[in-house]
Amino acid sequence: MPTAPAVDAEALYRALITPRLIEEKMLRLIRQGRLSKWFSGYGQEAIAVGTSFVLERGDTVLPMHRNLGVWTTRGVPLRPLFCQLMGREGGFTKGRDRTFHFGIPEYGIVGMISHLAAMLPVANGLALGARLDGRESVSVAFVGEGATREGDFHEAVSLASVWKLPVVFIVENNGYGLSTPTRQALPEPEVWKAGAGYGMHAETVDGNDVFAVMDAIRAARDRGLAGGGPTLLDMHTFRMRGHEEASGTKYVPQELMDEWATRDPIAHAEKKLGRRLNSAKRAAIREEIGKEVDAIAEWALTQAPVTGTLDAERADVFAPLVPRETADTSDDSGATREVRFIDAVTDGLRTAMREDDRVLLMGQDIAEYGGVFKVSAGFLEEFGVERVRNTPIIESGAVGTAMGLGLAGFKPVLEIQYFDFITCGFNQIVNNLATTHYRWGSPVGVTLRAPIGGGIGAGPFHSQSMEAWFCHTPGLKVVFPSSPADAKGLLLSSIDDPNPVLFLEHKMLYRSLKGPVPDAPTRIPLGVARTVRSGSRATIVAWGAAVHWTTHLAEEEGLDVDIIDLRTLIPWDREAVLESVRRTHRLLVVHEAPRTGGFGAEIAAEITQLAFNYLDAPPLRIGGEDMPIPFSKALEDAIYSGKSRLPDAVRDLLAF
């Protein structure tokens, strides 16, 4: 174990005492009624400070509620930090998120979301990105022992071990969840013992001994950079305050509080520093930093509360798209080839990977096997194992890893084997990926490809069309092509986009549909609909397979109707639909997904509001029955699918 002479004693003491003095100031403000909420790390400072003190500038840290010492030790300026903590102008999130729920890339910090353990897979992506860039850096992710029961913990440590990533997973084992003792939540409270099951180095550390923490972090960092893979550090400490200040500590036995009070990390460090930093010098440092903290806190409280404008808030939901210098946004320029829908997807993906070596492909069975639908067949041979990566069966862990790669400046494309399985990664998509740019301004260019839809007799877990779930998620773009040309052009635009994009590929169309596709890397802008057929008596809006239902019906019966393929659901082309409805005066929206709560309801409601005076009939919606999709194709076609109800609906609309 290192002794005090091995470090800059004064620098270490300043690093340790700063978060403690901020804690004390915050607790006084709470008691005075001048601060409403605070998550205290009082008594746990040695872990955050010791970790940050020995890391290199290029390393990335993913802290949590009680890791104030990460921010202060990494040199984050106190004035904006206090504005952030107090919800005042001048903070890091413009009032859009609280305390430590944000990142500061220039300080190598990526903050948390409230869903504990969610950032652990993100650490994997950041570590992989650093390795692919040839940087000698590690990612360090914090989690409480209670959250090690969550799936993201197990998915993250599993993937890190399989890929030998330089990640350090720190478990702050402080004895309690909110109020539940560890012994009631974990069958084995010594979390480090899980490391053996994942083939990774793991050990327990005295989390209140800053020197022990530094020693463990140095060794873990060296191990990771030498190719030894991740490390799990089970750091034992104690939470001397409540889960958050309002919850108190009445549920903690007093004898436990008394015991841990004798193991205070500041007192422990003072004893070890001994003569190198005598009591007079320590008192002077305390007084100096205490005055600074007090002055900055009082100053922050005088700053204006955060305000904003509707336009500014809306503008920051998505990162702006930087136009490509060579982008061709036409639909039909140059030579074309007649190819299947699936081949167009493959062509788009291969084109993107050839154009930009920062485009990576990940997913289950996508490498040697080429994916269950063979979209990526041959990619491993062309692009290599670093850019075509099989993942374990870990949808949440894979999405989080893709997010980390996106934050590291890569353009990951993650294949979700079947859209139905995306539910296992739901939290990472809707709460992490989709919110990041709005909350703290970082673009995250991640493309999630997912085969979707029914019509092939695949049953209730391989046939769902639940795109409406994600259309309700601000910050996520949703793309749903219905033609081979659109599949290629929209996929290229999705990968270019600096925002998370859910790219839905109807698997029934994969091998049943052919069409002309430009040889050139033609981009189709997201949010622009396509008029498939022109007419004057009604407007039919559809996407995916439903475009072909409606087109076939119109051709078969000679219908004089506009058919509009939205192509992109978020954002959707309101103006194209409005322009059509103003001419035809009737609207029918058709989709494969269940009718109730489907995205068609949003379109019908919006058009009714914006074009009510133009309508000669109530807007109609056709969707699937409100039931799981049956395995029997006969039941699906005759009962579940809206396709069977489409002819009557069109006749009713035209006859109204």
181 alpha-carbon distance from chain centroid = 30
Say which residue the tokens 């500038």 belong to.
57
Domain-located, residue 420: yes
CA-to-CA separations, 230 to 124, 131, 146, 166, 394, in angstroms, rounded:
9, 13, 20, 5, 18
Verify that 618 and 512 share a domain, yes or no. no
Kindly state whether residues 383 and 444 are assigned to the same domain. Answer: yes
| Within-domain flag for 316 | no
DSSP run (H or E) holding 403 = helix 395-407
Q: What is the domain-level CATH number for residue 576?
A: 3.40.50.920
Q: Is residue 345 part of a domain?
A: yes
β strands within 595-653, DSSP E: 620-624
| CA angle centred on 300, ends 297 and 305, rounded to 5° | 140
Question: Does 548 lie in the same domain as 487?
Answer: no
Q: How many angstroms separate the Cα of 61 from the Cα of each of 124, 166, 496? A: 12, 12, 27
489 and 399 in a common domain: yes
Q: Give the per-residue pLDDT at 183.
A: 85
Mean pLDDT of 263-286: 94
pLDDT, one tens digit per residue, over 182-229 is 888 888 889 999 999 999 999 999 999 999 999 999 999 999 999 999
Does residue 246 have a pLDDT over 80? no
pLDDT on residue 331: 46
Average predicted confidence (pLDDT) for the chain? 94
Is the preceding omega at residue 571 within 30 degrees of 0, hence cis? yes
DSSP β-bridge partners for residue 542: 565, 590
Kindly report the CATH number assigned to the domain that includes residue 114.
3.40.50.970
Listed residue (18, 11, 26) closest to 72, CA to CA? 18
Active-site positions read 395, 462
Tens of pLDDT, residue by residue over 378-401, are: 999 999 999 999 999 999 999 999
Q: Which of residues 518, 545, 577 is at a domain's end?
A: 518
Quick one: 391 and 502 in the same domain? yes
More confident site: 249 or 564: 564
Domain count, the chain: 3
Residue 326: pLDDT band with limits 50, 70, 90: low
User: Token digits for 17?
Assistant: 């005492």
457 shares a domain with 407: yes
Q: Which of 301, 326, 349 is the last residue of a domain?
A: 301
Q: Would residue 605 count as lying in a domain?
A: yes
User: Are 370 and 457 within one domain?
Assistant: yes
Looking at the structure, tell me whether residues 236 and 271 fall in a common domain. yes
pLDDT digit string, tens, across residues 67-105: 999 999 999 999 999 999 999 999 999 999 988 999 999
Considering 301, 326, 352, which residue would you say is the last residue of a domain?
301
SS3 content of the chain, % helix, strand, coil (to 5): 45, 15, 40
Q: Is the pLDDT of residue 414 over 70?
A: yes
In this prediction, residue 248 carries a pLDDT of 82
279 and 418, same domain (yes or no): no
- 35-49, 260-274, 330-344: which has the minimum mean pLDDT? 330-344
Is the model more confident about 36 or about 410? 410
Contact 159, 151 (CB under 8 A): no
List, for residues 10-42, the tens digit of each pLDDT value: 999 999 999 999 999 999 999 999 988 888 889
Q: Are residues 492 and 582 in the same domain?
A: no
On the question of pLDDT at 621 being above 60, the answer is yes
Confidence band for 327, pLDDT divided at 50, 70 and 90: very low
Q: Is the pLDDT of residue 179 over 90?
A: no
How many CB atoms lie under 10 A from the CB of residue 135? 16
Q: Is the pLDDT of residue 483 over 70?
A: yes
Using an 8 Å Cβ cutoff, are 230 and 168 in contact? yes
* Residue 313: inside a domain: no
539 sits in the region (left: phi over 0; alpha: psi -120 to 50; else beta) called beta
Kindly report the pTM of this predicted structure: 0.95
Residue 429 reports pLDDT greater than 60: yes
Q: What is the mean pLDDT of residues 405-433?
A: 97
Domain assignment present for residue 44? The answer is yes
- What is the per-residue pLDDT across 523-540, written as a single tens digit (0 to 9) for each? 999 999 999 999 999 999
The pLDDT of residue 333? 55
Q: Is there a domain that residue 310 lies in? A: no
Q: Are residues 636 and 572 in the same domain?
A: yes
Question: Is residue 126 included in any domain, yes or no?
Answer: yes
Residue 324 pLDDT exceeds 80: no
pLDDT given at position 127: 98
Pairing of strands 109-110, 103-104: antiparallel
Is the same domain home to 506 and 435?
yes
Range of the domain at 553: 530-655
| Closest among 442, 424, 583, 570 to 501, alpha carbons compared | 570
